[in-house]
Amino acid sequence: MKLAWPRNPGEGGWVIPAAYAGLCLFSLATLWSVTEGIHGPYEIMDPGVPKSIFWRQVVWVVIGWSVLLTVRNLPLPWIEQGTPVFYLLCVLLLAIVLVAAPVVQGARRWFDLGPMRLQPSEPAKIAVILILARLLAAFHAQEKRLVPVLLSLLLTGLPLLLVMREPDLGTSLVFAAIWIVAVFWYGLSWVLLLSLASPLLSAVFSFYAETVAGSPWPWGLYLLVLLAALTRARFRLLENLGLMAANIVTGLVTSFFWEGLHTYQQERILTFFDPARDQFGSGYQAIQSKVAIGSGGLFGTSYLQGTQKGLAFLPERHTDFIFSVVGEELGFIGAMLLVGLYLVIILRGLQIALEARRPFSSLLAVGVVTYFTFHVAVNICITTGLMPVTGLPLPVMSYGGSNMLTSAIMLGLLTNVGSRSFET
């Protein structure tokens, strides 16, 4: 059955706000549970997360709705014209946070503003989406696409490198994902994109071969597959040789990059391949998360009765691992309902991007969709043990003002574009 979406921009304007409302209710209900002691046939214990977390999130939800509705009604030309200033401001804040912000757990990521903390990397995601949409839209009619693609890479790479210096590897990957999808939507061939990404794959296989498998065969097999693929591709000989050389060099220097990572980052990656190597240290979060989700089964342990959450076995249960609480107490059914709300936003966002007649609007919409898709997919993969722990929040659901405001602005921009899809 083909999924049909409203064709009239005036219709279906309720879809994304309705999904957002559902996510807000999900977030508040889960945070109430997280801040409650365990209920049921157990002694009520201190949940370890203060009730003030819930009430602060209530305030952020109210502010988020105000921001969404405000951004939704702003004229898009104003947003487009103000993009360069907003981008420069975000880059400046990312640079200042590296020298002026306090060190928290070995990283400089937040400005402490008394009752709240500001994480500049969150508005920087919006700035990157906007600046890429403006730049690529300005060149959409040109046949030579290499120059705008290189400029877009430079504009994305600057905040990406600043965020990596904090260090925040997970957020830096968000910028990379936004750039890849933006240039693909702009018209860059997927074959060329895969070719450009092949050195990264070479680094992954080289690392696995040297650090995990202890044998060169995984990397060697990858190089053989790449060589076979290049012989069938329609690239010139010089381009094939350049790509092979780039893959080999990247694989060889991977060990030097590995030595440059912080110890906790190395442990997280190694623990992903073998969680039992440090089950009470770097592997503790991933193990407890899988136990929580697994114990939920199909229908869950019932609301307020999750033992992993209630007995405080699950760390960061109000932020990065909030999906694990949903999986434990509401089970597979509840988790899929939550994923369904995100899917509604993503599918509706893609429809808006396809229907938008202005290149800026289309690129803006697809950037927002990429943000939500990447955050949701990576966060769920982390909580289910399919990816190493990187510290990405679940949009709208996770506690935090920066995350809530960023998500609200993103959805405000998306609904703004949706209401003007047929404007030229």
Per the CB < 8 A criterion, the answer to whether 158 and 97 are in contact is no
The backbone region for 396, taken as left when phi is positive above 0, alpha when psi lies in -120 to 50, beta otherwise, is left
DSSP assignment of 37-82 equals PP-SSS-----SS-THHHHHHHHHHHHHHHHHHHHHTS-HHHHHHH
DSSP letter at 107?
B
Cα-Cα-Cα-Cα torsion 229, 192, 379, 301, nearest 10 degrees, comes to: -50
Both structure tokens of 422: 């047929």
Please indicate, yes or no, if residue 123 is contained in any of the structural domains: yes
258: part of which helix (H) or strand (E)?
A: helix 237-260
Please indicate, yes or no, if residue 190 is contained in any of the structural domains: no
Per the CB < 8 A criterion, the answer to whether 304 and 366 are in contact is no
CA–CA gap between residue 138 and residue 359 (Å, rounded): 8
112: part of which helix (H) or strand (E)?
A: strand 111-112
Both structure tokens of 234: 């329609």
Please indicate, yes or no, if residue 305 is contained in any of the structural domains: yes
Please indicate, yes or no, if residue 24 is contained in any of the structural domains: yes
DSSP assignment of 314-343 equals STTTTTTTHHHHHHHHHHHHHHHHHHHHHH
User: Given this model, what pLDDT does residue 272 score?
Assistant: 61
Pick out the chain residues at pLDDT < 70.
Answer: 1-12, 38-47, 105-106, 114-115, 143-145, 261, 264-265, 268-284, 309-313, 421-424
Cα-Cα-Cα-Cα torsion 38, 42, 44, 45, nearest 10 degrees, comes to: -70
User: Given this model, what pLDDT does residue 7 score?
Assistant: 47
Residue 118: what are its φ and ψ, rounded to 5°?
A: -110, 125
CA–CA gap between residue 9 and residue 137 (Å, rounded): 22
Please indicate, yes or no, if residue 242 is contained in any of the structural domains: no
> How many structural domains is the chain composed of?
1
User: Given this model, what pLDDT does residue 135 score?
Assistant: 94
Please indicate, yes or no, if residue 104 is contained in any of the structural domains: yes
> Which domain does 156 fall in, by range?
15-173+294-419
117: part of which helix (H) or strand (E)?
A: strand 117-118
Question: What are the pLDDT digits (tens) for 161-170?
Answer: 998 888 787 8
CA–CA gap between residue 217 and residue 208 (Å, rounded): 10
Per the CB < 8 A criterion, the answer to whether 123 and 82 are in contact is no
User: Given this model, what pLDDT does residue 1 score?
Assistant: 34
Q: Output the pTM of the full model.
A: 0.84
User: Given this model, what pLDDT does residue 88 score?
Assistant: 96
User: Given this model, what pLDDT does residue 4 score?
Assistant: 46
CA–CA gap between residue 369 and residue 363 (Å, rounded): 10
User: Given this model, what pLDDT does residue 307 score?
Assistant: 72
DSSP letter at 392?
P
User: Given this model, what pLDDT does residue 303 score?
Assistant: 85
Please indicate, yes or no, if residue 92 is contained in any of the structural domains: yes
152: part of which helix (H) or strand (E)?
A: helix 146-164
User: Given this model, what pLDDT does residue 83 score?
Assistant: 95
User: 310: burial class by Cβ within 10 Å (0-12, 13-18, 19+)?
Assistant: buried
CA–CA gap between residue 174 and residue 373 (Å, rounded): 10
Please indicate, yes or no, if residue 220 is contained in any of the structural domains: no
The backbone region for 40, taken as left when phi is positive above 0, alpha when psi lies in -120 to 50, beta otherwise, is left
Cis (ω within 30 of 0) for the bond into 167?
A: yes
